[in-house]
Amino acid sequence: MNWLYLIAIAAFMAVSNVNSLSLDPVASTELEQYIKKGDCVISMRHIRPRRKLHISIEALFMIDFPTLKHKLSFFLDRMNQRVTLDVTSNGATVSKHFELPNTNETSTIRSLALHFHKNHIAMLVDCKESSTHELDISLTELYAQMDTDPVIKLFRERKYPLYFDGQLEPALQRTNCQKGVHKRNKVHMMRTQVAEREKNKKRDVRNWFSNDSSDKHHDEERTPIEVEQRGDIPIMHGDCEDALAKSLSDLMELVKLLREDIANQRQEISYLRRLLENCAGCKEPSSGSLRLEATCRNANPCYPGVECRETSSGLRCGRCPLGLVGDGKICKPGVTCTDRPCFIGVQCRDTLNGAQCDACPIGYDGDGRSCTIRTANLLVPSHNVQHYQRQYTARKYSVIST
C-alpha cells in the first residue's frame, strides 16, 4: 500500500507540474524548423532550485504532436539526481531516466542540453555528456507522419527559456563551454612553462658552480659562464643597441618638430585673436556711428508678391495682389473695383478697406452698390432697373421712327 501511495503522489506531482507549463508559439515554430532539417539541440541555462524545497520534481518542457497523440515530457528530479523522459503514445507512457550526477535540491545547474540525433538522445550537463537513450521513432519521422496540417506544440516553464541549435558545437559555445576548455588549457600551458624555466635555472646554476671550481686555478681571467636571464627582458648586443639608439634619436627629432609646430600654432592663434579684437565690423555699433539705411533688399516691409520701391521719403509698397486689399504692407482678402461691385454708372474707388462706390445717379436711391428708381408711390428694385431701361429705350426709338 505504501508503494502505491508513493506512486500516486509522484503521478499527481507530475501532472501538476505539466499543468504549470505554458504554450510558447514562437519556440514551437523554431523547433519545427530544426526538426524538419534533422538533428536538433535543445539547451537550458541556470536552472535554479525552487523556493519550496519539498517539491523535488519540476517539469522542464514538453513536445506535443497533437494529431498523432504523441508527447515527450521532460522532468527534473533533484532528489533522485536524474532527468526523466515520459514518452506518451496513444495513452501508454514509457519512462526513461538520464543520470544527473553531483546535483542536489539546492544546487544550480549551469547548463543542460539534449541532443536529438535520429533515434538517439544524449544529455549533457555542465558541458559533459552524462547518459544517452534510444527512442522507438525519431522526431523527424514523427513530423513526417503528420500528412495533413503538421503542427508541433512546445510547452515550457516560463522562467527557463529554451535555445535551439542544429548542431552541438553552437550550443556548447552559448554556454561558454569552449571558453572554459581554452582557459584550462592556457593555465596548464603556463604552469608547464614556469616549471620548465625553473628547471633550466637550476641546471644553469649547477653548471656555473662546477665550471668555476674546476677552472679558477687554471685561468683566473677567463670570463664566467653567462647565466640565463629572464625571457621577457632580452639582452641586446651589437646591432640591437645601435638600432635602439637610432630609434631614440628619431624619437627626439619628432618631439622637437612637434614642439616647433605647437609654437607656430600658438603664434597664429594670438594673431587671429588680435585681428578679432581690432575688427570694426565685429564690434557693436555705437549711438553716434553711421547707421545703415533700410533698403528693399535688407528690410523689405511689403507683403509677399507686392512691389517695393525706394524713394527719397523711404520705402513704398505697390498695390496688393488681385483679390486682396490693403496698403501693400498689410494685405487681406476683400472686394476690389476689378470685381465691379458698384451700380451701373457709379464710379468705384479702391481704398485700404476695399472698394468704395460713389452716390447713386440722379433719380435713384441707394448706397452706390444697389440703387432703386425714385417714383411718386413706387420704388423699383435695382434688379428691374435694366428691364425698365430697355423698355424706355425701345419706346424712344419707336417714337423717332414714326
Task: Report, as an integer, the average pLDDT of 231-242.
Answer: 57
Residue 113 is assigned to a structural domain of this protein: yes
Largest CA distance in the chain: 175
- Most confident by average pLDDT, 81-95, 144-158, 271-285: 81-95
Q: Is the pLDDT of residue 2 over 70?
A: no
User: Is residue 46 pLDDT above 70, yes or no?
Assistant: yes
Distances in Å between the Cα of 55 and the Cα atoms of 13, 61, 76, 103 are 8, 17, 11, 15
Rounded mean pLDDT of the chain?
77
Q: Assess if residue 190 is contained within a domain.
A: no
CATH of the domain at 353: 2.10.25.10
**What whole-number distance in Å separates Cα of residue 123 and Cα of residue 171?**
12
- Report the range of poorest mean pLDDT among 152-161, 162-171, 184-193, 327-336: 184-193
pLDDT of residue 373: 85
Identify whether residues 315 and 358 lie together within a single domain: no
Tell whether the model's pLDDT for residue 208 goes beyond 60: no
> pTM higher than 0.85, yes or no?
no
What pLDDT digit, counting tens, does each position of 250-275 carry? 999 999 999 999 999 999 999 898 88
Q: Is residue 90 part of a domain?
A: yes
Radius of gyration in angstroms for the set of CA atoms belonging to the chain, rounded to a whole number: 53
- Band of pLDDT at residue 9, cut at 50, 70 and 90: very low
The position carrying cell 620548465 is 196
Report the 3 state secondary structure along the chain.
CHHHHHHHHHHHHHHHHHHCCEECHHHHHHHHHHHHHCCEEEEEEEECCCCCCCCCEEEEEEEEEHHHCEEEEEEEECCCCEEEEEEEECCEEEEEEEECCCCCCCCCEEEEEEEEECCEEEEEECCEEEEEEECCCCHHHHHHHCCCCCCCEEEECCCCCCEEECCHHHHHHHCCHHHHHHHHHHHHHHHHHHHHHHHHHHHHHHHHHHHHHHHCCCCCCCCCCCCCCCCCCCCCCCHHHHHHHHHHHHHHHHHHHHHHHHHHHHHHHHHHHHHHHCCCCCCCCCCCCCCCCCCCCCCCCCCCCCCEEEECCEEEECCCCCCEEECCCCEEECCCHHHCCCCCCCCEEEECCEEEECCCCCCEEECCCCEEEECCCCEECHHHHHHHHHHHHHHHHHHHHC
Whether residue 341 is found in the same domain as residue 316: no
For residue 308, give every residue at least 6 positions away whose Cβ sits within 8 Å of its Cβ, in sequence order, or none: 296, 300, 301, 302, 315, 316, 317, 318
At residue 223, the pLDDT reads 47
369, 312: one domain: no
In this structure, the answer to whether residues 308 and 389 fall within a common structural domain is: no
What b/e sequence results for 94-125 when a residue is b if at least 16 CB atoms lie within 10 Å of its CB, and e otherwise? eebebebeebeeeeebebbbbbbeeeebbbbb
Q: Are 86 and 77 within 8 A, CB to CB? A: no
Cross-strand pairs, 47? 109
159 within domain boundaries: yes
Quote the CA–CA distance of 47 and 61 in Å, as a whole number.
Answer: 13
* Nearest-5° Cα angle at 242, 239 to 245: 150
Dist CA 167 CA 178 (whole Å): 14
Q: Indicate if 141 and 159 belong to the same structural domain.
A: yes
By residue range, what is the domain housing residue 137? 2-176
Same domain for 369 and 311? no
Q: Are residues 346 and 373 in the same domain?
A: yes
Residue 81 lies in a domain: yes
In angstroms, the Cα distances linking 96 to 28, 135, 204 are 23, 10, 62
Boundary-marking domain end, from 314, 332, 350: 332
Give the number of domains in the chain.
3
Distance between CA atoms of residues 371 and 362, nearest Å: 10
Shared domain for 310 and 169, answered yes or no, is no
Residue-wise pLDDT tens digits, 303-359: 998 999 888 888 899 888 888 888 888 898 888 888 888 988 888 988 878 888 988
* Domain finish residue from 142, 160, 176: 176
Q: State the Cα–Cα distance between residues 235 and 201, nearest whole angstrom.
A: 17
Highest mean pLDDT among 2-11, 60-69, 199-208: 60-69
- Together in a domain, 24 and 76: yes
The three grid cell numbers given for residue 79, joined into one nine-digit string: 532528489
Residue 292 included in any domain: no
Q: What cell does 286 get?
A: 555705437
Q: Give the pLDDT band (50/70/90) at residue 393.
A: very low
pLDDT at 375: 73
Q: What is the dihedral of CA 18, 19, 22, 27, to 10 degrees?
A: 20
Does some domain include residue 162?
yes
**In terms of domains, do 314 and 387 share one?**
no
Instruction: Give the least confident one: 160-164, 172-176, 309-313.
Output: 172-176
Same domain, 172 and 314: no
* CATH number of the domain encompassing residue 49: 2.60.120.200
Does residue 380 sit in the same domain as residue 326?
no
Alpha-carbon distance values, 95 to 5, 64, 143 (Å): 19, 16, 21
Residue 267 maps to a domain: no
Residue 73 pLDDT level (bands cut at 50, 70, 90): very high
Residue at which a domain ends, from 332, 348, 377: 332
Better pLDDT: 376 or 82: 82
